[in-house]
Chain A
Amino acid sequence: MHKKRNLYKYRIAATIAFIVVIVGIGVPMWWKTTTVYRVSLPSSAIQRLSEQPIKTAVQIAIYTQETNRGQLLITELETAFADSDIWNVEFKQLLPFAKAAEVHTPAALEKLLLQAHPQSVGDFLFIEWAKLEDELLLTTERSALMRSDVTSTKIAQLLHSKILQTYRINQILSTDERLGTKSEAPQPAYDVVISVLNPKPRLTFAQWNVAMAAQTYIEPFLAQISDISNYTVRTQWKYRVSIEADLKQMRDSSKLGRHYALQESSLPHLLTSIAQNLSGSITDKPVINLVVYIPPCTTAPLHIYNSKQEMLTKHGVDAFISPPWGGFIIANPPEHVCLAHLNNEPPVEYYVNTNDNMQVMLDQLHKLLDISSEVQVAGVKTVDIEQLAPRRWEYESYMRRSAIRHIATASNTLQSLIKLLDQISYIVIDDKVGAAITNSYVDIMAAKVALIEHRLVDASALAKRAFVASERGFFDASLLAQLYFPDEQKYAIYIPLFLPVMVPVLSSFNMLRKLLHGRRKEKQQ
C-alpha cells in the first residue's frame, strides 16, 4: 500500500513536471524567440497627441494717437479672439509719446515705435495714421497702417484672412478630407529644375543663357526663403521633346495671319507627355519642374484656350501651374522669326526674353511654394513688393503655417504608424526606427510648446525635424522585413509540434483537477 502511494506520488510529480516544462517554460520561450522585434514606443502618448490642440501665440501691438481708442480696440479684439482654439493672441497697446507728433511720415513713426518696442519673429504692429486713403495698408514689413476710423471687426478680419490665415490653418488641422484641397507639407529639400524645351532645333535657333537667368532671378529668391526647405537650382536644355496635344489653327489679324490654340482640357496630357522626357535625378529629393517651352514656328504662336473658345492669354503670357509638379511657360518666338520661316527663309537666330519669362517663373514659384497670400479684403491695400524677397509678414505666416502643418502631418504619421502596429503584428520596429519615432514625438511636443511660448523660429525648426524623423520612421524599409513571414505561417509551421504535445499535457490538467476534487471529498468524509 505504501509503495503504491509512493508510485502515485511520483506520477503526480511527473505530471506536474511535464506541465511546468511544457507550459511554464517551453511555450513562453517559443513565444519569446519567435516574436517580432519591437522597440517599446510611447504608443499611448502618441495616440493622445491629437487631443492637445496646436495653439499658437502671437503678439499684436496697436499704436493709436489716443489712449482711449486703443484700449477700446484692444478690448473688442480680445473678445473677438477669446474663443479661438488656434490662436492665443496677446494685444499690446503702445502708448502715445511726445516725439510722435513731430514725425511726418509713417515710416519714421514705425521706426521710432520699433526702437521703443522691438518686435520678435511673428509679431505684428498696427499704426494709426490719419491721412490714409484706404482703411488699412499692409507694408512689406511686420506692420500695417490704419485710418483713425477703422473698426475692430475690420482689423479682426484682416488678421484672420491675411496675417494669421485662420481659414488655411483650419484646413490643415481639419480631419475632414472633404474640406478643401490639402497641399503637402514642405519637404526639407527640393530640386528646382528649369527645363528649356526646344523640340525642333533645326528650325528654331533660340538662344538663352538660362543658367545666368536662374542665377539672377531664381537663386536669390530661393535663398531668402530657405529656412524651411533647401533648394538646389538646376537648368537643362531638352531637344526633340514634342508635346502631344491637338493644336488648332486660328485665323487672326497679325502679320502671320494665324495662331494656334491649345485647349485647356488637354493641358494634363501635355504634362504627362513632357514629364517622361525631363530625365530623372539621382537623388530622392522632390523636384519642382519649371518648363519653358519654345514652340517651333510650325505651331507658333501658341496660346491656351478654354472650353468656351476664349483665349486665356493675359499680358502676353501663356503659362500654367500644376502643384506640386511645377509650372509651364509657353515662350512664343518673336513675330519676325516666324515670319522668316513662313517666307521660307533660313532660320533666324534670336534670344529668348529673360526678364519676361523669369518674372512669370518667379510668380509661378511663389504660387507653387504657396507663400503669397491671394485673399482680397475690401478696404485693405497691400504695398507692392520691390525686391525679390516676399513680404515679411507673408513669409512669417508661411513659416507659422509650415510649422503647424509639419506638426499636424508628423502627428498624423505617427498615429497611423501606431495604428498599423496594433493591427499588423509582424511589423518590425528596430532600434533606429524606434529612435526616429521617439525623437519625432519629443520634437512635436517641443514644437508645440515653442509655438505657445511665442518662439516661432524654434518651433519651425523643431517641427521640421519632427516631420523628417516621422517620415523616416514611417517609410523605413526595415519595417517590412517580416512581411513575407506573417504570423499565420508561424503557427502553421509549429502546429504539428504543439497540437500533439499539448493535448496530453492539457488533459493531465483535467486529471489533476479530478484528483484534487477527490482528495477534498475524502477529507470531508
Chain B
Amino acid sequence: MITALAFLLLLPLLVFMPLAPPAVALINPQSQHFTDEQFHEELVVRPLAGDHVNTYFQFTTRWHYGTRNNLYHTQLTPRVIAEVLQTYDVKELHIGLTQGLWRYESWGYPIVEATGGAEMWAWFSAPNLSNDDVDKQWMQLANVFSGVLCVSLNFVDNTNTIAPKHIFRPQFMHTANRSQQFVRYATLPREIVCTENLTPWKKLLPCGSASGLATLLNSGYVHNTKYHSLGVKVRTLCDTDDPNNCIVELTQTANLVYDLKLLEQSSTDFSLRRLFGMGLNGNCELASSSKIYVQRSERGEQFQLVPPPQHEVTSTRGGYTAIYAVYDMQEQFEGPGARLFNIAWVGPKSSSSSGSNKERASLPPLYAHRYLLGNGQKRGRIATEITNTHFDALPIIVMELVPWYVYAYLHTLRIRSKPQHRHDYGAKELKFSLLHYAPGKQRELSTHLEIGFMLPARSSALITIEVDYLLLKWLEYPPDANHGHYIGAAVISSQLPTGRNYTALPLEGHLFRDSYNASRPAYTLTLRTEALIVSLPTPDFSMPYNVICLACTVVALAFGPIHSVATKLIIVERQTTMPRNLLRKLFHKLTNRAAKPTPTALPEQNQQQAANQDEETDDKKQSEKQSSCNTPTHM
C-alpha cells in the first residue's frame, strides 16, 4: 500500500522532468525586444451553480534569465522578485491571500487552491544548506513579503511553521539532489485581506493597473465578492545540466466568485461591466498574449454571449470535455482609437428552476469539511470529514497543523468510515498506511500531523483527534481576545483518475491554454478545509494590576498593626481633668500638649495622657497609619 501511494505522489515529478525550452515565438511585434522575457495576461470566466460566477485572472511573467548575475537587471519581472532570488536560496514560493470559503460541493474545484487568510509555503534548495539556515531565510522571506504585499506575514515564525513531509511536491527544477530540498509552510488564518493587499499586488505587474486586464480589478468590486483570493507564485526552472540556464516564472492570480443575486439584478444576465464596474479599456501593451476564456460547457451552456466569441476551443481532459470561448484582446484593440470592450452573458428566460435541479447531480469526486466537537473551554475534538463520490478508492493524504496552544493526542487519532448513503459512522475503522507526527511544544512548535490512507469508493471518512486547550499567559492573547483563536485549515491531497471538475493547470504548463487536452494518468488535487476557531479560556485582563494593588493593600494593612504591636507599649493612665464634651476634649488635648511638652517621657505618653478609657488606646500616630493604610484601597 505504501509503495503504491508513494508512486502516485512521485508521478508529477516524473512527468515534469523535461524542461520546456523558453518559448521565443512572438505573437506581438511590439514586444520584440523582450526575447527572453514574456508576460501573459488571462481571464477565465466560469458560471457556477447557484447563480455564482467565477472569474480567474492570471498574469504570468516568464523570464529566461540565464545566470544569476542577470538578476541585477530587470525588465518585466519586478525587481523585488529578482532580489529575493539573489538573496535567498528560495526556488519556489507560494503566497495566497484569501477572504471567504470555496464551496467544493457546488462550485467544483478552483484553478488555484487557497485557504482563508494568508498562506505561504516555499521550497529552498542550495548546496550546503542546513535546516537552521532555511529557518532563518524563511523568516526573512516572510518579512520581505509582508512588506511587499502589506500582509502580516511578519508573524510567521518557528511557532507556526512546519516542514511538510509528504503533501507538497516541488514544482521547481534544480540541479541539487533531492536531499537538499527543504520546504516550509505556514498559515495565518486570522489575516483579513483587503484593498491594502490588492494595490501592492497590482504594482508587481508590468503594466500596473494602468492598462490591461488588471484595470478590471477595482477594490470596490473585488471586495464585494463572496470569495476572493490573491495569489503570488514564483518558481525557478533550471537546466539540470547547466546551472547558467534558468527561468523564473512569476504567476499572479486573482480568483473571485461573484454572487449574481448580490449584483441587484432580477435576471441571471451579467456582463463584465456589471461584475467589475467598467468595461475593458485595452490590453497591456507589454503582454505577449492577452486573452479572455469563457466556459461554454456545464453552467455556461445556457448563456448567450454578446459579442459572439472569435474562437471556440474544445478540450477533453481525463474523459471530460469542456468548451471555452476565446476572446483575444490584442485583436480587439488592434486599430487606433480608444474604446471599451464588454462581454455580456444573456441567460435563458424563466428556466432557473430546471438549472437548480441539475446541481445535485454533479458532486465533485472528493470534498471535505472540518468541524469542532466537544463543549467547554477545556477539551475538544477536531473532526475532518472527507467524502469520496468516485466509483473507485482514492489515495488520501491529510495534513494538519495544530497550533501550540492546542494539545493534540496522537493515541486518540481515529479514522472511521461509512458508505455514502449511511448517515452515521459505525465502529469500522480505516487503517492508515502512512503517518508522520511531530509533536508540538508549548510556545515553540506546532503539532504537525500527516496521515495517508486509501478511501474506499463512495464512502466518507471521519478523522478525529482529541485536543486540550491551553491556558495562555496574559500577554499571549491577541487584541480582541474574545474573538477566539484559529486553527488553520487542513490540507488534503489526492490523485484523481478523472478530470471531472478539475481545472488546475498541469505542472509543466504556465498558461491556461496549457490545460487544454492535458490528459494525464492522474490529476493531483489539493483541497483546503474550513479553518476552525476555538475559544480558549479568556481571563480578565485588568487582573494583574488589581492583584498588585490588592496585595499591596493587604500587606500595608497588616504591616501597620504588626509594627505598632512590636514597637509600642500601651500604658493606661487615669486622667481626671478630662472634659466630657467632645469639642472640649479635643481642645483640651491640643492645649495640653502645647503647654507642657514632656521630653523625658516616652513619646507615646504624650498622647496617652488624653485617654481616659481603656479602649481609647489608639494613639495619634496609629490613627494616622490607619488612614494612610486606607488610601491604597481607593487607588
Which residues does chain B contribute within 8 Å of A279, judged by CB atoms? 78-80, 203
Interface string of A2-38 (1 = CB under 8 A from B): 0000011001001100100000000000000000000
CB pair B72–A235 under 8 Å, yes or no, is yes
With contacts A11-B568, A11-B569, A521-B599 known, is A501 near B555, CB below 8 A? yes
A497 to B79, CA, bound (A): 59
Q: Which one of B84, B206, B599 contacts A517 once the chains associate, using CB atoms below 8 Å?
A: B599
Q: Interface size of B by Cβ–Cβ distance < 8 Å? A: 53
Q: Which residues of A (482-506) have their CB < 8 Å from a CB of B? A: 493-497, 499-501, 503-505
Question: Closest CB of chain A to B28's CB: distance in Å?
Answer: 11
CB pair B567–A501 under 8 Å, yes or no, is no
Which residues of A are at the interface with B, using a C-beta cutoff of 8 A? 7-8, 11, 14-15, 18, 193, 201-202, 205, 207, 210-211, 214, 232-237, 239-240, 277, 279-283, 349, 493-497, 499-501, 503-505, 507-508, 510-511, 514-515, 517-518, 521-522
A351 to B75, CA, bound (A): 16
CB pair A499–B79 under 8 Å, yes or no, is no
- Secondary structure dominating the interface of B: helix
Which residues does chain B contribute within 8 Å of A499, judged by CB atoms? 556, 628, 631-632
Q: Which one of B72, B207, B548, B552 contacts A234 once the chains associate, using CB atoms below 8 Å?
A: B72
Which residues does chain B contribute within 8 Å of A522, judged by CB atoms? 600
Count the A-B residue pairs with Cβ separation under 8 angstroms: how many? 134
> Is B297 positioned at the interface, with any CB of A under 8 Å from its CB?
no
CB pair B599–A518 under 8 Å, yes or no, is yes
Which of B32, B79, B635: most chain A CB closer than 10 A? Answer: B79
Which residues does chain B contribute within 8 Å of A493, judged by CB atoms? 545, 548-549
Q: Which residues of B (364-404) have their CB < 8 Å from a CB of A? A: none
CB pair A239–B73 under 8 Å, yes or no, is no
CB pair B75–A237 under 8 Å, yes or no, is yes
CB pair B72–A240 under 8 Å, yes or no, is no
CB pair A240–B211 under 8 Å, yes or no, is yes
A165 to B473, CA, bound (A): 62
Additional A-B contacts beyond A499-B631, A504-B621 (10; CB < 8 A): A202-B285, A207-B33, A235-B74, A282-B144, A494-B552, A500-B557, A500-B559, A500-B629, A500-B632, A501-B556
With contacts A211-B73, A496-B552, A497-B556 known, is A511 near B631, CB below 8 A? no
Which residues of B are at the interface with A, using a C-beta cutoff of 8 A? 30, 32-33, 70, 72-76, 78-80, 83-84, 87, 144, 147-148, 203, 206-208, 210-211, 285-286, 545, 548-549, 552-553, 555-557, 559-560, 563-564, 566-569, 599-600, 603, 621, 624-625, 628-629, 631-632, 635
CB pair A504–B566 under 8 Å, yes or no, is no
Q: Which one of B72, B206, B555, B564 contacts A233 once the chains associate, using CB atoms below 8 Å?
A: B72
With contacts A205-B30, A207-B33 known, is A503 near B625, CB below 8 A? yes
Which residues does chain A contribute within 8 Å of B206, judged by CB atoms? 239-240
CB pair B80–A280 under 8 Å, yes or no, is yes
Which residues does chain A contribute within 8 Å of B625, judged by CB atoms? 500, 503-504
CB pair B75–A282 under 8 Å, yes or no, is no
Which of A11, A237, A493, A510: most chain B CB closer than 10 A? Answer: A237
CB pair B559–A239 under 8 Å, yes or no, is no
A280 to B150, CA, bound (A): 13
CB pair A514–B33 under 8 Å, yes or no, is no
Q: Which one of A202, A236, A511 contacts B74 once the chains associate, using CB atoms below 8 Å?
A: A236
A514 to B597, CA, bound (A): 12
Q: Which one of A8, A14, A282 contacts B80 once the chains associate, using CB atoms below 8 Å?
A: A282
A15 to B84, CA, bound (A): 70
Which residues does chain B contribute within 8 Å of A521, judged by CB atoms? 599-600
Which residues does chain A contribute within 8 Å of B631, judged by CB atoms? 496, 499-500
CB pair A504–B73 under 8 Å, yes or no, is no
Q: Which one of B30, B79, B545, B629 contacts A202 once the chains associate, using CB atoms below 8 Å?
A: B30
CB pair B72–A505 under 8 Å, yes or no, is no
Q: Which one of A18, A201, A507 contacts B566 once the chains associate, using CB atoms below 8 Å?
A: A18
> Can you name the residue of chain A whose Cβ is closest to the Cβ of B621?
A507
17 A–B contacts from the bound complex (CB under 8 Å): A11-B567, A18-B563, A201-B286, A211-B73, A239-B206, A349-B32, A493-B545, A496-B635, A499-B628, A500-B559, A500-B625, A504-B625, A507-B624, A514-B603, A517-B599, A521-B599, A521-B600
